[in-house]
Structure 1
């Protein structure tokens, strides 16, 4: 994570907290019980991960849209179309039970990383963008995997 500005790095890492917390509450019944008692049931396990994951994947559509504003001509059209895919993925693919929703979020975040790579190759992102996104995406997928496996 060398060369990433402090603010995006700190905010990106802070954004992992709900994913990590959700995974920890899957793995620890005691922690889950405490979380339910203190924070409420929607802030533990699958509830926090699936809701927050849906919000973040949709948010990332907006980030890609912002990058698309740097493109010109046909590439701009392609980038705008690609930028809405993560939000549409969330809308259509996260219904159903927690296991299928979790799997679909994993696929959504993996697909988002592919879009991040494309936008980076096209020169639309900051130079540090992929270093940040690869690390964050790895943690998100690992945490969501806990929910899918348990």
Structure 2
């Protein structure tokens, strides 16, 4: 039975979308010089949030799985992948970086949907994460469309 997402995580999750939506919009509508700033801001923020999602998995491993178990080791190792995707993405051409970051968000979400993650993460977390991820990916799509001509 689905449980309601607690108010604070819901509000923080929605607030976390504001920079994505604002910078993706500014990449299209702001004066040209600010469009460049918006693209950079979008990519940096995306990298930070992708890394944060890896940190969530680190916390899950530490608090929910026996230290030293195979599941613990695997989750800890996989928790590093988002930051190892995000940081190099910032060194690439912005269009390529946007694609890499979008791919990182997809990979994290797919991992969250695995049987082991579904068993250990609260139902409300999954309820919250799906629309957040879809919105983040839509914003990446907007940015990629904007950058396609560069």
TM-score computed with the length of structure 2 as normaliser = 0.85
* Structure 1 unmatched runs, 5+: none
- Partner deviation per Cα, 1:46-74 (whole Å, 9 max, x = no partner): 11210100111111111110011212311
Aligned match of 1:120: 117
1:47 aligns with 2:40: yes
Question: CA offset at residue 139 of structure 1?
Answer: 0.3
Aligned match of 1:59: 52
Work out the number of aligned pairs and report it: 141
Aligned Cα root-mean-square deviation (Å): 2.2
* Structure 2 unmatched runs, 5+: none
The structure 1 segments of at least 4 consecutive aligned residues displaced by more than 3 Å after TM superposition are none
TM-score computed with the length of structure 1 as normaliser = 0.85
Secondary structure class of the residue paired with 2:113 = helix
Residues 145 and 41 of structure 1: is their aligned pair in 2 closer, same or farther, counting only changes over 3 Å? Answer: closer
CA distance in 2, matches of 1:143, 1:105: 11
For residue 77 of structure 2, the aligned residue among 81, 85, 93 is 81
Q: How does 1:104-143 map to 2 (within 5 A)?
A: 104-118=100-114, 119-121=116-118, 123-143=119-139
Secondary structure class of the residue paired with 1:95 = coil
- Partner deviation per Cα, 1:67-87 (whole Å, 9 max, x = no partner): 112123111111111111101
Aligned match of 2:90: 94
CA distance in 2, matches of 1:78, 1:56: 21
CA contact (8 A) 1:58 1:87 kept: yes
Residues 34 and 88 of structure 1: is their aligned pair in 2 closer, same or farther, counting only changes over 3 Å? Answer: closer
